[in-house]
Amino acid sequence: MSADPIVLCGIECMKMCRFVCVAANQLKLETVTPYGKCFLAYYLRKEAITGRGRVAEAMYQCATCGLCKEWCLPKVDIPEIVKEVRAKLVKDGNAPEPTLEIGKKTKSEKNPYGEPHEKRFAALNKKGKSKMGSVAYFVGCTSAYRQLNIVNAMAKILEHTEGEFTLIDDEWCCGAPLLSTGHIELASEHAEHNKKAIEDSGCSVVVTSCAGCYMALSRYYPKMGFPLKVEVVHLSQYLWSAISEGKLKLKKSGKGGVKVTYHDPCHLGRHMGVYDEPRSVLSSIPGVQLVEMDWNRRNSKCCGSGGGLQLNFQELARRIGIERISEAVATGAEFLVTACPFCKNQLESVAEGKIRVYDLAEIVVEHLKV
């Protein structure tokens, strides 16, 4: 992309992005469209407008899902433009109140939920030991404080495949929610801390089930100057290797098989290009029939929780989530599986019993052949 995004969006483009933006489709507001945000970013940069009130609000009505970029011929990177503006809004104190609040909560408790830091590994009940050269489990804030079932499933999987696994002493939030909402300096502090904590654990591989943690650790830590010296893998990649190597075997699902559909987390799919491994894992469960939603892989629609949407605009996030659930139900699947605790948390909260929502770790643990 050579020209200024404003030129591409304003003059040269048919603006196909407007038809796919999950936020603009719900709110029907020009300012919320991808190009609307691009224009706002331009005028903010020129100091022709101030980043307060409705302008700040519009810049946070974005899931940073990246679907607009897929439909944009010159590949204007709206999520990155949005994040850059948000960093300035946070710095100037103009970001929405919940965003400013998570900065304070994360500063004091090392997680955006403001839950007690010392209870981070409470679900693990003393599992996970320090052991040189082993596989480490990076738990992440949403699993640790909102999706304890995923933590237990991860522990069982890692015990099954590795015998023992390592926990990162003093694990802090990976920084993904900080980066997407504009708390750049704090995210950098977290990256520096976690790099040291992970490397000090003596592990050679760090596994996480969270798409946001995976993206932060593998893509953003190097960008912030803190590349990890250990390999970072997402659970879906770890599972697929273990299955391929015969380290992990799965047993048949249900009596006559079960129809399952898969939701690509934006941070795992579009942002990191991991589409095949979760599908391969699901398809390797005997009796599972994987059916796709209309919007899948690079065209997958966001669950509604990303980019601080759930934090700042619950009703908008809820409506986006309900649309995704309807799409899943339309496939005729009994289960909707995703590969991120944050997506699972959101989809489960809006499913209203229409479809059962699982994380990949949870469905795999139910089918472990012991």
Where on the chain is the footprint of ligand SF4 (CB under 6 A)? 8-9, 13, 15-17, 20-24, 34-35, 37-38, 62-68, 72, 74, 76, 78-79
Minimum distance between the CB of residue 184 and ligand SF4, rounded to whole angstroms? Answer: 18
Whose Cβ is closer to ligand SF4: residue 13's or residue 197's?
Answer: 13
Minimum distance between the CB of residue 324 and ligand SF4, rounded to whole angstroms? Answer: 13
Tokens representing residue 41 in the block: 């970013």
Whose Cβ is closer to ligand SF4: residue 67's or residue 102's?
Answer: 67
For residue 287, how many other CB atoms are within 10 A of its CB? 15
Which sign does the torsion angle of CA 148, 149, 152, 158 carry? Answer: negative
Whose Cβ is closer to ligand SF4: residue 152's or residue 338's?
Answer: 338
Whose Cβ is closer to ligand SF4: residue 55's or residue 363's?
Answer: 55
Minimum distance between the CB of residue 112 and ligand SF4, rounded to whole angstroms? Answer: 20
Minimum distance between the CB of residue 67 and ligand SF4, rounded to whole angstroms? Answer: 4
Nearest to 8 by CA among 85, 75, 70: 75
Minimum distance between the CB of residue 186 and ligand SF4, rounded to whole angstroms? Answer: 22
Whose Cβ is closer to ligand SF4: residue 10's or residue 286's?
Answer: 10
Minimum distance between the CB of residue 13 and ligand SF4, rounded to whole angstroms? Answer: 3
**3-class state of residue 11 by DSSP:** coil
**Can you spell out the DSSP letters for 59-73?**
HHS-----HHHHT-T
CA dist 83 and 70 (Å) reads 18
> Pairing between strand 356-359 and 258-263?
unpaired
Nearest-5° Cα angle at 329, 328 to 330: 90
Whose Cβ is closer to ligand SF4: residue 78's or residue 281's?
Answer: 78
CA dist 176 and 141 (Å) reads 10
Tokens representing residue 266 in the block: 């934006």
